[in-house]
């Protein structure tokens, strides 16, 4: 895609700090890291988000995820690491070429702050939700 920032990073017309590249994916440092080692992994095939991602692109992308996570772990010894992917502006997506964030965790005060509010669902409600999703697989 000619007007896509991350496609331009892949083709080298916009500079990036490359960490890894193969035939299918490209990994580079996030320009505004949330924590030391914050890395983005993207498919070379342009797709806007997870909803649009072909299965084979997903396979090739996630095949590399453990390698990236373990390299970050070995480099900086974080005490944890989140992988996060935002799909849609309402979910916080700002660059519309799929990317998987690798965000290392060092202590509770640094970096990523996740608000994770749980809700109470009965077994029947959970089953109803599951049926709705299953009907669309
Ligand atoms: P998201 O909000 O999930 O769409 O994340 C987009 C990410 O891309 C943000 O964390 C930005 O800091 C990062 N970003 C934007 N422009 C660049 C760039 N030129 N090089 C590296 N990372 C970038
Ligand atoms: Zn793109």
Which residue's entry shows tokens 């949330």?
A: 34
The angle subtended at Cα 53 by Cα 58 and Cα 81, nearest 5°, is 50
> 121 lies in a domain?
no
> 55 lies in a domain?
yes
Nearest CA to 106 among 129, 73, 135, 62? 73
Distance 94 CA to ligand 2 centre (A): 13
pLDDT score of 114: 80
Ligand 1 touching residue 129 (CB < 6 A): no
Backbone angles phi, psi at 65, to 5 degrees: -55, -45
Average pLDDT value over all residues in the chain: 96
Q: Which domain holds residue 98?
A: 5-112
Distance 97 CA to ligand 2 centre (A): 5
CA distance 94 to 112: 17
> 134 lies in a domain?
no
Closest atom of ligand 1 relative to the 32 alpha carbon: 12
Distance 9 CA to ligand 2 centre (A): 9
> 80 lies in a domain?
yes
> 105 lies in a domain?
yes
> 95 lies in a domain?
yes
> 122 lies in a domain?
no
Backbone angles phi, psi at 132, to 5 degrees: -60, -40
pLDDT score of 135: 98
112 — pLDDT class (breaks 50, 70, 90)? confident
| Cα 78 to the center of its chain, rounded Å | 18
Q: Which of the ligands is closest to the CA of residue 9?
A: 1
The angle subtended at Cα 104 by Cα 70 and Cα 49, nearest 5°, is 90
pLDDT score of 69: 98
From residue 120, give the alpha-carbon distance in Å to each of 63, 125, 131. 35, 9, 18
pLDDT (tens digit per residue) in 10-60 = 999 999 999 999 999 999 999 999 999 999 999 999 999 999 999 999 999
> 107 lies in a domain?
yes
CATH number of the domain enclosing 104 = 3.30.428.10
The catalytic residues are 99
98 — pLDDT class (breaks 50, 70, 90)? very high
For the chain, the domain total comes to 1
**Which mutation among 6, 26, 40, 97 tests ligand 1's pocket best, with the greatest number of atoms within 8 A of CB?**
40
């Amino acid at each position: 895609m000619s007007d896509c920032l991350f496609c331009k990073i892949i083709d080298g017309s916009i500079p990036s700090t490359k960490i890894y590249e193969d035939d299918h994916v490209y990994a580079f440092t996030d320009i505004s890291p949330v924590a030391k080692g914050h890395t983005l992994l993207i498919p070379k095939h342009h797709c806007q988000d997870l909803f649009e991602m072909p299965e084979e692109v997903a396979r090739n992308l996630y095949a590399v995820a453990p390698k990236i996570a373990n390299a970050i772990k070995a480099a900086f010894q974080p005490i944890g690491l989140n992988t996060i992917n935002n799909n849609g502006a309402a979910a916080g997506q700002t660059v519309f070429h799929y990317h998987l964030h690798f965000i290392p965790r060092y202590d509770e005060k640094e970096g990523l702050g996740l608000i994770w509010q749980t809700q109470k669902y009965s077994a029947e409600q959970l089953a109803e939700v599951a049926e709705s999703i299953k009907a669309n697989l």
